Amino acid sequence: MQIKMLTALVTLALGALNAQAVVTDKTIEDDAKTPGDIVSWGLGTQGQRHSPLKQINPGTIGKLVPAWSFSFGGEKQRGQESQPLIHDGVMYVTASYSRIYALDAKTGAKLWKYDHRLPDGIMPCCDVINRGAALYDNLVIFATLDAQLVALNAKTGEVEWKEKIDDYAAGYSASAAPLIAGGLLLTGVSGGEFGVVGRVEARDPKTGRMVWTRPVVEGHMGYTFDKDGNKKENGISGTAGKSWPGDLWKTGGAATWLGGTYDAKTGLAYFGTGNPSPWNSHLRKGDNLFSCSTVAIDVKTGQIKWHYQNTPNDGWDFDGVNEFVTFDLDGRRVGGKADRNGFFYVNDAATGELLNAFPFVKKVTWATGIDLKTGRPNYVPENRPGDPTGGADGKKGNVVFSAPSFLGGKNQMPMAYSPETRLFYVPANEWGMEIWNEPITYKKGAAYLGAGFTIKTLNEGSIGALRAIDPKTGKIVWEVPNNAPLWGGVLTTGGNLVFWGTPEGFLQAADAKTGKIVWKFQTGSGVVAPPVTWEDQGEQYVAVVSGWGGAVPLWGGDVAKRVNYLEQGGSVWVFKLMK
């Protein structure tokens, strides 16, 4: 009897240990208010990137020192844009070329590594980056550059399931961190420069089985799937042919390449959509829904509940993929978005109603503002790239200068919100471009632009600036200029601090209320990733991935020449207070 009781107690104890290690829907729902771990991209599905931790603050940060650093190793450097996840004492961090590591979060010791075998012929638009993973149950799940999803056993690194998203030979890829919302695994697609069709997919995170798919190009059919994989029509997105001429909707772009956010209060997932294809807007007269938009999707049904289009009939590659971060404003659930087109938008999170819109960069040439009644931009027609068919030789339209450049007032680097200061902290860039249109026809797997461009600096001064922005008034409360363009994300804390990295290699922190820099550390390579913070046994840690790369050195034109001295890298740094 005693042996049986002892066996039962051991079984219960083991069960409890296993339960502690498993990531549940509740774990994810509480992520923003449980600073002992980080189980979602954005430190909570709302994407606020705020931690309540206060141990590290302006009074103590002088004692912040490295605890450990880990190199991703080998010759696979390039851009490192990953946000680490931390759970049960383990850090899960992805790296360039579709790699992922499990590290001891206290010591940096490598527990396991998975190196996805990439085929020849992958076509990532903007470097071989990966932005992070998702945790669910006993799995760590991430997307790969050849458009696959891989689920690994969190303890061993062994493959539990693998599913193909789409055909990489047709230009599809995937680099965003998956989103867990309502018990489903939500993912988007990359490849807007190759004429792909943007969409959001929902899967069972334990098995990879498809549950629903929702295209975000008007005219395409959505589907639901039963447990046997049989699909059923779930309604066309929008109205076929309404905002797209001819057959261009069939290769319409609108890639959902940055991933999404989710708000449990509205039950909606928010995905930004990229540029319509091709870039030559004269070929596709109309609004081209749902490109350059915020699309709110009911996670239970896969239906689009509302959309707001930031740049109708985009002619400048102003992808609207930037994250939609929900927060409370005057007793109302709203969302903020700093769009690539240079305007900051505030929309009702439940209905999409536009509440406010204002520029967050100093030079915008394509529009004079956003009409708050209609929600539409007030275009400057002469600053749209010209129609090549109207040119002297029919091969090149009028060249225009546009600001911001297609790299955006803000690009992939996620901003942060502080519920304490009620400010957003936005990594912004001031630059422009010369852009012109060219004739183009679609060819599977080939670049589908119909445009040429050169990125230009606006002056000899700073390009980047971290800006503290009041979403209610549109006022820039303070800013910290940066010589090189900012390309990494932001973190806010209850300790009245804002952390962000620079291409020059610094991880730095400022007073959240004043913008005064109170600490910085040289990581050895440019930082193009978002920092995180967590607590373990009473100690607060800060981490960031370091490794220069991404779109700027590839597409940056005159700006790329200005920062060509920056070195590549590949490592994760972790800091804590010196005792």
pLDDT at 11: 41
569 and 504 in contact (C-beta within 8 Å)?
no
Question: Whole-number mean pLDDT of the chain?
Answer: 94
Measured CA to CA, the distance from residue 73 to residue 535 in angstroms comes to 27
Measured CA to CA, the distance from residue 404 to residue 476 in angstroms comes to 18
Measured CA to CA, the distance from residue 426 to residue 542 in angstroms comes to 19
CA dist 539 → 106, 109, 302, 534 (Å): 10, 19, 41, 8
Nearest residue to 282 via CA among 446, 403, 402, 438: 438
Annotation marks residue 387 as catalytic: no
Which residues, 6 or more positions from 114, have their beta carbon under 8 angstroms from its beta carbon? 99, 100, 150, 152, 157, 159
Measured CA to CA, the distance from residue 428 to residue 442 in angstroms comes to 33
Helix H or strand E encompassing 321: none
Measured CA to CA, the distance from residue 472 to residue 206 in angstroms comes to 41
pLDDT at 14: 38
Exposed, middle or buried, 298 (CB in 10 Å: 0-12/13-18/19+)?
A: middle
Output phi, psi for 384, to 5 deg. Answer: -95, 135
pLDDT at 218: 97
* Type of residue at 397: G
User: Any idea which residue has 């399931």 for tokens?
Assistant: 161
For the stretch 318-348, pLDDT in tens is 999 999 999 999 999 999 999 999 999 999 9
Does residue 395 carry a pLDDT above 90? no
Average pLDDT over residues 277-293: 96
pLDDT band, very low/low/confident/very high, at 9 (cuts 50, 70, 90): very low
Measured CA to CA, the distance from residue 130 to residue 122 in angstroms comes to 14
Among candidate residues 263, 287, 314, 317, the one labeled active-site is: 317
Helix H or strand E encompassing 80: none
- What percent of the chain has pLDDT above 70? 96
Strands (E) located in 25-107: 50-51, 64-71, 85-87, 90-95, 99-104
* Type of residue at 576: K
* Type of residue at 383: N
Nearest residue to 252 via CA among 173, 324, 197, 316: 197
* Type of residue at 211: V
Nearest residue to 255 via CA among 278, 281, 273: 273
- What percent of the chain has pLDDT above 90? 88
Full set of structural domains in the chain with CATH: 23-577 (2.140.10.10)
Does residue 2 carry a pLDDT above 80? no
User: Any idea which residue has 């004429």 for tokens?
Assistant: 195
Measured CA to CA, the distance from residue 51 to residue 66 in angstroms comes to 20
Measured CA to CA, the distance from residue 238 to residue 291 in angstroms comes to 12
Measured CA to CA, the distance from residue 387 to residue 402 in angstroms comes to 16
pLDDT at 392: 64
For the stretch 44-80, pLDDT in tens is 999 999 999 999 999 999 999 999 999 998 777 889 9
Indicate the SS3 state at residue 492. Answer: strand
Structure tokens at 333: 């659930």
For the stretch 122-170, pLDDT in tens is 988 889 999 999 999 999 999 999 999 999 999 999 999 999 999 999 9
Indicate the SS3 state at residue 32. Answer: helix
Measured CA to CA, the distance from residue 371 to residue 349 in angstroms comes to 19
Long-range contacts of 154-158, Cβ-Cβ distance < 8 Å, separation of 24 or more: 154/21, 154/87, 154/88, 154/90, 154/92, 154/102, 155/21, 156/112, 157/102, 157/111, 157/112, 157/113, 157/114
- What is the CA angle 171-448-95, rounded to 5? 40
User: Any idea which residue has 């790239």 for tokens?
Assistant: 385
Average pLDDT over residues 221-247: 94
pLDDT at 579: 85
Q: In the β-sheet with 431-437, what is the strand arrangement from edge to edge? A: 400-402, 431-437, 451-457
